[in-house]
Amino acid sequence: MTRPSARGGSRASADRLARLLNLVPYLLARPGIELAEAAGDLGVTERQLREDLELLWVCGLPGYGPGDLIDMAFDGDRVTITYDAGIDRPLRLTPDEALALVVALRMLAETPGVTNREAVERALAKIEHAAGDLVAAPVEVRLPADTRRVEELRTAVESGRALRITYYTAARDETTERVVDPLRMLMVGGRAYVEAWCRRVEAVRLFRADRIDAVTELDERAVVPPQARPHDLTEGVFRPSPDLPLITLRIGRGERWITEYYPCERVEAGGGDHWLVSLRVTDLGWARRFVLGLGSNVTVVAPVELADQVRAAAVAALDAYASPTPAASLGSTDGSDPRRAVSPADPAVTAGTQ
Give tens-digit pLDDT for 68-83.
788 889 888 899 988 8
Q: Residue 115: its pLDDT value, please? A: 54
User: What is the percent of the chain with per-residue pLDDT over 90, rounded to a whole number?
Assistant: 17
Region at 197 (left for phi over 0; alpha for psi -120 to 50; beta for the rest): beta
Mean pLDDT for the stretch of residues 323-347: 45
Of 40-49, 142-151, 264-273, 292-301, the poorest mean pLDDT is in: 142-151
Q: Residue 328: its pLDDT value, please? A: 45
pLDDT band at 278 (very low <50, low <70, confident <90, very high): very high
Of 52-56, 74-78, 108-112, 248-252, the poorest mean pLDDT is in: 108-112
Please indicate whether residue 17 or residue 59 has the higher confidence score (pLDDT): 59
199's CB contacts (< 8 A; 6+ apart) are 178, 179, 180, 181
Mean pLDDT for the stretch of residues 18-29: 82
Mean pLDDT for the stretch of residues 84-93: 66
Q: Residue 349: its pLDDT value, please? A: 36
Angle, in degrees to the nearest 10, between helices 46-56 and 35-42 = 100
Q: Strands, DSSP E only, in the chain? A: 33-34, 71-75, 78-83, 161-169, 174-188, 191-198, 203-208, 212-221, 246-251, 264-269, 275-280, 298-302
SS3 of 104-148: HHHHHHHCCCCCCHHHHHHHHHHHHHHHHHHCCCCCCCCCCCCHH
pLDDT band at 2 (very low <50, low <70, confident <90, very high): very low
Mean pLDDT for the stretch of residues 150-158: 82
> Domains in the chain, start-ordered, CATH in brackets?
10-83 (1.10.10.10), 95-135 (no CATH), 145-221 (2.30.30), 246-321 (3.30.70)
pLDDT band at 149 (very low <50, low <70, confident <90, very high): confident
Alpha carbons 324 and 205: distance in angstroms, whole number: 41
Task: For residue 233, give the nearest of 283, 199, 278, 183 by alpha carbon.
Answer: 183
pTM flag (> 0.75): no
Please indicate whether residue 350 or residue 162 has the higher confidence score (pLDDT): 162
Check: CB of residue 61 under 8 Å from CB of residue 85: yes
Alpha carbons 134 and 154: distance in angstroms, whole number: 33
Average model confidence (pLDDT) for the chain?
A: 77
Alpha carbons 83 and 24: distance in angstroms, whole number: 10
Q: Which tens digit of pLDDT belongs to each residue from 177-200?
A: 999 999 888 877 777 888 899 999
pLDDT exceeds cutoff 90 at 146: no
